[in-house]
Structure formats: structure tokens, C-alpha cells
Structure 1
Amino acid sequence: MARDLARQLQWDELYNSVNECLTLRHRLRPPVRCAGPVGGPALNPFNTTMIAVALVPIAQATGVSASLAIWLVAGLYIVSAVAQPAMGRIADIFGPKKVYVTGLLLVMVGGLVPAVWASFPGALLSRIIIGLGTSAAYPSAMTLISDQARRLGRPTPRPLLTGLSVSSLVTTAVGPVIGGLLVHQLGWQWIFIVNTPVAAVILLFVPVWLPADNTRESAAGDSGLDIPGMAVFTVMLVSALLFFLDLDAGLNWLIPVAVVALGVLVWWGLRVDSPFIDLRMLVGNGALTRTYLRMIITYTGMYLMVYGFTQWLQDAAGYSADHAGLIQLSTTAFALVCSWIVARSTSVRGPLTAAAIALIPGALLMAFVDAGSTLIYLLLLVGVFGITQGFGSVCNQEVVYRSAPKEQMGSASGLSRTAIQIGAIVASSIIGPVFGEPATDADVHTLAWIVLALGLAGTLLTVTDKALKATGTDD
């Protein structure tokens, strides 16, 4: 009883600390307290975008082609796309804190690999281990928040939810900046090594600020992990993603493999009581399913800019890796302003509509950019995509949290991150055949028209989604 009371007071302190952190009422202690719950989820998007400015330097240093270097992106994406819903399901069943800590330990180990094996295989292995480790934090944090809010009988702590979005948002935006500085000042290995001290610092705060798993009301389901479902889902997703990652490789045989695996996944999911992917829930929960689709569309457009435009800045416009990363600060500025605005509103439909529409002017600016464009033009172009990032990050998470069944919060939130990873992989698969070596103005113009089509599709999907009107109020 005394332990439960202590945990409740601890959770109250955490809630108040994050609220203070986000409202800027204190400047030192609350941000430190935020490190435990919101620091871990920031590592995956941080690593996702930090690599963007390092692909060319890594390819040059290790003697591999640009087409092979892109697997540093693909490796983390594939692992994360599969692992995030899996880690979420494990957190639902066995407890989020255990999964959270395990993930941080994996990140620490993965970050050290290039320090002792400075080669392309070493870099790829590091990305895979880091991808597995960082996949644990976000679904675990979402599960923890849901569990503790229900246990304490309190409204869902909106500031803490916003903190998760903002931390990921900021690290996504500043990833290319930090990546460029690390590559320029310390060498490409530090793109990976930096994860070890960062994860270690976050780990220090976990015992103090994250409630123990034994404070949960109950575990999700009594049948344990759906191992066959996980295996079939992995085969389906990996087959599809490998095909899309290299459309010119002639891997057409992967299509029937993915289709057969999908059929088996559906068949199996309808036979078991607690499937890994609850198809019945997804079919009956249109708001959640449409959110996943909306995230795939908008993040495909986002990552076409993050990866394609960054590569064009270095190849065609002549910017160095660190300068190309610094240009991305414009995205950070726009995104932070948008996240600050939406954090103070209970509406999600308007901001999500703005997030989709913002891809349209961003695409038009891309369509007329060239190697001689001014720095102001480039900053404006990149900044417009920050609107999509700022509004979309906070509000899509809000919809997932309100729409997903509470006992499946981990797997549902993990699937939302899978949707983002799918968007990134689709973007990478488009950039590969479109871009030459080096990238040209015409190449980035082609990407612009694809982004425009995605913006139109995302806008249509958002404005016609009636479920968004009812989303955004506290439980």
C-alpha cells in the first residue's frame, strides 16, 4: 500500500514536472525530469533524420556506392517498422518499463559498433541494433501513460502526450543539423557513437521518474505473445519493403511472397483470440485506420523533402553536409511554432488539414528551385514542410491515443510509427530511380510533383474524415 502511494505521488510529480517543462514555468529542473518519459521516444526519429546528411560522407569513406549507402536508411526503417508494433505488444502484455529499459540498453550497444568496426558492414549492423532498441521507447511510453492515467483515475495528461510529440518533433528536425556537425567536426562514426551517451543519460532517469510495471492494473490479454502472427507480419512487411526499396533490382518474386503472407496473416488473425495485429479492431475502428493511412501519405511527402532535397543541396547546390543540415533549422522553427499552437487547442481536424495542405505550397516551391536559388528561398521551402511536421506529429498522436483500445495501446501506437517508417521507405524507393548521380535540378522537380499529388490526396482524406470532429477532448 505504501509503495502504491509512493508511485502515485511519483506519477503526480512527473505529470506536474512535464507540465511545467512544456509551459516554460521553470527553466532547469523540469526539463531534466522530462528526460525519462520523453527522451527515449525521441531517439528513433533522431536517428531517422540524422543519417540524411551523412550518406554521402559515409559512402566516400567506406568506398561504397550511393545506392548501397541508402541501406543505412533502409536497415533502420525495416527493423523499426516491424519492431515497433512488436515491442508495443510486448509492453502491453509484460509491462512498458521493462521494454523501455531493454531498448535503451540495445541503443547503447549499437552505438559503439562503428567505434570498433569502422566499415560499411559495421555501420549497417549499428543501424539495425539501434533501430531495434529505439523501437521500444515510444510504444512503451504510450502504454505507460495510458496505464497510469487509468490506474490513478485521472484525465489523460495532455502535457505529457504533447511532450512525446514535441521531443520527437524537435529531434526529427534537428537531426540533420546535429548529423552534419558531427560528420564535419568528428567524423562519420559519431553519427552512431553519439547514441551511447545520450541513451545512458536517459537511462539514469528511468528508475526515478517511470512508474514500476507492478503498479499496472492488469496485463493485456492472457494468451501471451502471438508468435506466429508476429512471424507472418514480419515476412509480409519485410518482403513488401524490400521490393519497394529497390524497384530496379528485379525482385518481383517478393510480391507474391508478401501477398501470400498477408493472406495468412488475415486467416490467422481471425482464428485466434488475441492476435498480434487485431484485424477486427482495425476494420471496426475507421478513425484509427484512416489515421495510419493519413500518416503514410503525409510522411512520404515529408521524407521526400528530408532525403531528396538534402541530397540535392549537397550534389547540385554545392552545400556541405553541415550546411545542408543547418538549412533544416527552418523546418525546426516552423514545426515548433505549429506544435506550440496546437498544444493549446483541443481541435485536431483543423491542424491536420493544415498539415496536409502545407505539402502543396512546399511542392510548388520545390518545383521552381534550382542550384542558383537564394538562401532565403531555400529556408522558406524547407520551413513550409515544418507546418506539416508540427501539426501532424502532435495531432496524429492525439487521434491514435483517443481511438485505440486502451489494452492495445502499445501495439496501436507502434503501428502508428510503422506507418511513418513505411512513408520513409516509400520515399526512399521513389528517390532511388528518380535521382541520378549526382542529383540535378530536374530530379528534385520530379519529386515536387509527387509531393503535390500526396498533398492533394492527404487533404482530401483529412477533410472528409468525420471522425476527426469528435477527437481531441480529454477522456
Structure 2
Amino acid sequence: MASAVLNPVNSTLIAVALVPIGQSFGAGPGKTAWLISALYLATAVGQPVVGLLVDRYGARRVLLGGASVVIVAGIAGMIPISVEWLTGVRAVLGIGTCAGFPAAMAVLRKRADALGQGVPARVLSLLSLSSQTIMVIGPTLGGVLITLFGWPAIFAVNIPLAGASLLLAIFWVPKDTPVRDEATKPKPIDVLGIALFSLSLLVLLCYLMAPGIGDLWLLAAAVAVGAAFVWVELHTRVPFIDLRMLVANTPILRTYLRQALSFMVIYAIMFGYVQWLEEGRGFSDAIAGALLLPMSVVAVCAAAFSGRTTGIRARLVVVAVALLIGSVALLFVGDTTWLVGLLALVAVFGLAQGLTSVANQTTLYRESPAETMGTASGLFRTAQYLGAIVASTVIAQCYGVHADSAGLHHLGTVLVVISALLLVVTGADRGLKLAERRERARQA
């Protein structure tokens, strides 16, 4: 659990450090924006790779390695060389923090199976709740650290946090099964498959971050490398991602799709709505952040009260409906909207944010084979971060050079389409109904 919060910590702390870092090195927003993108790119690519390592070599080894990488990156970030240096540090942090979520899911699965338990819904809820809480306090904590110690503190804070994670992994996480013979020897790593997957995703994300007619060659390159990845995986004895099994397991594919669509809308609100509050309505940074607080508070409460294995489909439908209602409401928000209306709007999105992670995590846990839980969990987070990067692209295209009310209405229109698609995908998923019946029968 402690390792799983390292990624949301580093995702949120940087938000308040971009300006002081830029001032220190005389760098503009174009350069400092890569401090955010580097971590997202590294995490999106690294999650399934690290998840594979969890499946092959054990959660404890990967947790110890990941925590060690984060400590080294935390020390390196305190050295003020250049923005490029810090961007590289952020990428390393992204790779190091990848270990937390897939390792936590694998440990939970192993322990629950050993005890003969079903889905540990309350623990999954707590895992999501911890991430939601960190997202709430992250910017505030970052502001305090920078005020007291300067911007290097947002890197230094990783040292004690990763150190605590390291100690907890040593003393709490069970030792991994030792390799004694050929039967327990880890399967070979599909290095070529990992390289092609990483390259295709990296090129695709680079295109999504700044799409344009002149950059279509990036999209074509991503398709070509992706095709090569599929060919290699279908002809490799022990593939990085077993595409045949993944295609056959449609419940997991639908879970990834729901997670990606949900977070396209959620991240668009987290980043795009605040931008409109500052530029369109003229609120200060502090007030704009405070106006987003209901979203975070409702998300935390929703996650806290959703620790049940039944009613997953109903909660996912509520997520889609809430996102659709909130997106439609954006079309009627403007320069004269009352403050109460602005607060109520973000609370609706907070309900969806709190429910979607727990419900989709529970579905993932229920449908994933135990031996591939790490890889499946890594791909789950990759889907989420793909949603984040698509959201940033949509925001840029809708706002242009200024985040005014007209741009917000364009953003709302796009989010209505995405939310409606999510509602159709969720409502038409008969697998969720069958899973509900199986769970009720098991509990009975």
C-alpha cells in the first residue's frame, strides 16, 4: 500500500513546482511541461513491464528494486543541474514508482488465495482510497514543502517515503519463492516484445500530446511498430503479453476500456476545469484549487463506502451517468454561474472518480488469472494514463490559446460524447451481470 502511493505523490506534487523550477533555470512552460509528461510517459510504458517482472520474479523483489530506484532518483532531483536533468529524473521516478500498484495487487491475490478468500473488496477500496487521499493533499503538501525548503524538497520527499516502503517490503511482504529447479525457474523475458511495446506506446503518446497534420508520420510509425509488436507476440513461445489469452478474456479488455474512458473525462476536469476557473473566471490559483476540493472530498468518501464485491455493475453505471450529467452541465456553465453551481458540478465528477477506480479494480481482480495479476494490473494503469494524456490533448484542442467559456463548452461537448460511449459500453456489458450472479452465488 505504501509503495502504491508513491506514483500519485509524484503526480500531484509537481503541479505547484513548475513555476519555481522554471524561474530557477529561466525555462518557459514549454520546457517545464515535460516534467509532467516524462512521468506519465514512463509510467504508461513501465507499468506492464514492471507487472511482468512481478509475475516472473515475485512482488517482494520488484518492490525492493522499485523503492531503491525512487530513493536514488530523489537524491538526484536535489541536484540543480538543468530542467533536462530534472526531466530525466522524473522519468526515472516514473519507472521506480511503477512497482507499487501491480506488486500490491499480486500480494493481495496471493494472500487471498492462500486463505481461500474471494475478492478482498475492502482492501481494494482502501488501496484506491489511499491514492485518492494523496491526490487531495498532494498539491497542498507540495506548496508547504516549497515554501519551507524550496522546490528540491518535492524530490527529497521521495527519500523517506521510499525508505518506509523499502522497510515495509522487507519486514511485511512474504519472501518470493526461491528458484530450486527447472519447474520454478522464471520463464524467459520477451525483450523484443517489451521493446516494441514500449516504442509503439511512446511514439503514440508523443503524437497524442501534440496532434497535427504535420505529425501524422508519428501516428503511422506507431501503427507500424504496433503491428510488428503483434506479429512478434503471436510468434513468441513465451510472449510479454499473451495477446491470444487477452483477446479471449473480453471482461478484462472491457475493464481497460472503461478505465481509459472514465479517466479521459476525470483528468479533463481536473486539469481543464481548473484552467478555466483561473483564466476564464479570473480566480486566483488558491481559490481555483479550493473550488476543486469538493471533487476530491466526494471521491474519497465514495471510495471509502464502496468496499463491496456485489453491485459492481450498478456502481459502474452510476459512474457513467454521473460523468454524462456533469459533462452536459458544463455546456451551461459560464461567466455568471453562481459559486454554489461550480461547487456542485465538481462534486458530481468526484462521485464518478471515487467509484470508478474501486469498481474497475475489483473487476480486474476477479477476472485476471493469479499468475498474470502483475501484468494485468500494469496494463490497467497504462489504460488510465492513456486516458490522462488523451485528456490533455483534448483540453489543448478545445481551449487553444485561452481557456474561456466557449472553449469550456467545446470541452463539454467532447466529454458528453465520451461519457455517452462509456454508458453504452457499461450498459451493454453482459459479462458484468454474469459476474454479479456468480458472486452472489458464492456468498450464498
Could you tell me the TM-score, scaled by structure 1's length? 0.85
> Contact 1:282–1:288 (CA<8 Å) still a contact in 2?
yes
Q: Which residue of 2 aligns with 1:102?
A: 65
- Indicate if the aligned counterparts of 1:288 and 1:403 stay in contact, CA closer than 8 A: yes
Kept in 1: contact 2:252–2:364 (CA 8 A) = yes
Runs (5+) with no aligned partner, structure 2: none
TM-superposition CA deviations, 1:302-357 (whole Å, max 9, x none): 11111112223333334444443333321222112212332145221011111111
Q: SS state of the match for residue 238, structure 2?
A: coil
Q: Is the 8 A contact 2:40 2:385 kept in 1?
A: yes
Deviation at 1:389, TM superposition (A): 1.0
Residue 235, structure 1, aligned to residue 211, structure 2: no
Tell me, what secondary structure is at the counterpart of 2:311? coil
Q: Show the 5 A alignment for 1:336-375.
A: 336-344=300-308, 346-371=310-335, 373-375=337-339
Q: 1: CA distance between counterparts of 2:313 and 2:118?
A: 21
Correspondence 1:413 to 2:403: no
In structure 2, what is the Cα distance between the partners aligned to 1:177 and 1:384?
A: 22
Q: Which runs of 4+ in 1 moved over 6 A?
A: 215-221
Cα distance in 2 for residues equivalent to 1:313 and 1:200 = 38
Residues 216-238 of structure 1: CA deviation (Å, up to 9, x unaligned): 99999853211111011011111
Q: Is the Cα contact below 8 Å between 2:44 and 2:381 reproduced in 1?
A: yes
- Structure 2 residue aligned with 1:9: none
Check whether the contact 1:180–1:323 (CA below 8 A) recurs between aligned residues.
no
Change (3 A) 1:154 1:297: closer
Paired residues for 1:10-49 under 5 Å: 38-49=1-12
Separation of aligned partners in 2, 1:216 and 1:164: 30
Distance 1:103-1:53 versus aligned 2 partners, 3 A rule? same
Query: How far is the alpha carbon of 1:373 from its aligned partner?
Result: 4.2
CA RMSD of aligned residues (A): 2.6
Out of 47-56 and 411-420, give the one that drifted further.
47-56
Q: Distance in 2 between matches of 1:327 and 1:108?
A: 34
Preserved contact between residue 74 and residue 155 of structure 2 (Cα < 8 Å) = yes
Q: Does 1:213 align with 2:176?
A: yes
Distance 1:66 1:288, change over 3 A: same
Match of 2:279 in 1: 315
Choose 198-207 or 88-97, whichever is displaced more: 198-207
1:140 maps to which residue?
103
SS at match of 1:225: coil
Aligned to 1:115: 78
1:174 to 127, 137, 159: 137
Give the equivalent residue in structure 1 for 2:388.
Answer: 424
Is the partner of 1:358 in helix, strand or coil?
helix
**1:16 match:** none
The equivalent residue for 2:165 is 202
299-308 or 358-367: bigger deviation: 358-367
Give how far 1:113 is off.
Answer: 3.2
Unaligned stretches of 5+ in structure 1?
1-37
Partner AA of 2:351 in structure 1: I
Change in Cα spacing, 1:224 to 1:187, as seen in structure 2 (3 Å) is same
Give the whole-Å Cα distance in 2 for the aligned partners of 1:449 and 1:186. 43
One-letter code of the match for 2:134? Answer: T
Q: 1:306 aligns with which of 270, 290, 294?
A: 270
> Could you say if the C-alpha distance between residues 436 and 227 of structure 1 is closer, same or farther in structure 2, counting changes exceeding 3 Å?
same
Q: Which of residues 70, 87, 92 is equivalent to 2:50?
A: 87
CA contact (8 A) 1:366 1:445 kept: yes
Cα distance, 1:163 vs structure 2: 1.9
Candidates 23, 31, 35, aligned match of 1:68: 31
1:157 equivalent in structure 2: 120
Q: Output the amino acid matched with 1:164.
A: L
User: 1:408 Cα deviation (Å)?
Assistant: 0.6
Task: Describe the shift of the 1:441–1:230 C-alpha distance in structure 2 as closer, same or farther (beyond 3 A).
Answer: same
Cα contact 1:177–1:328 (8 A) shared by 2: no
Determine whether 1:380 maps to 2:334: no
Aligned with 2:394: secondary structure?
Answer: helix
| TM-aligned CA deviation for residue 150 of structure 1 | 2.6
Number of matched residues?
Answer: 438
Deviates more, 1:173-182 or 1:376-385: 173-182
Contact 1:177 / 1:322 at 8 angstroms: preserved in 2? Answer: no
1:242-295 CA distances to partner (integer Å, 9 max, x unpaired)? 111111483322222211111111111111232111111111011000111111
Q: Tell whether the 8 Å contact from 2:75 to 2:155 is kept in structure 1 after alignment.
A: yes
Cα distance between partner residues in 2 of 1:379 and 1:115: 38
Give identity over the alignment, percent.
37
| Partner AA of 2:421 in structure 1 | A
Q: CA deviation at 1:370?
A: 3.7
Q: Tell me what 1:457 maps to.
A: 421
Q: Distance in 1 between matches of 2:27 and 2:276?
A: 19
Which among 221, 224, 227 is matched to residue 188 of structure 2?
Answer: 224
8 Å contact 2:203–2:221 — kept in the other structure?
Answer: yes
In structure 2, give the amino acid aligned to 1:459: L
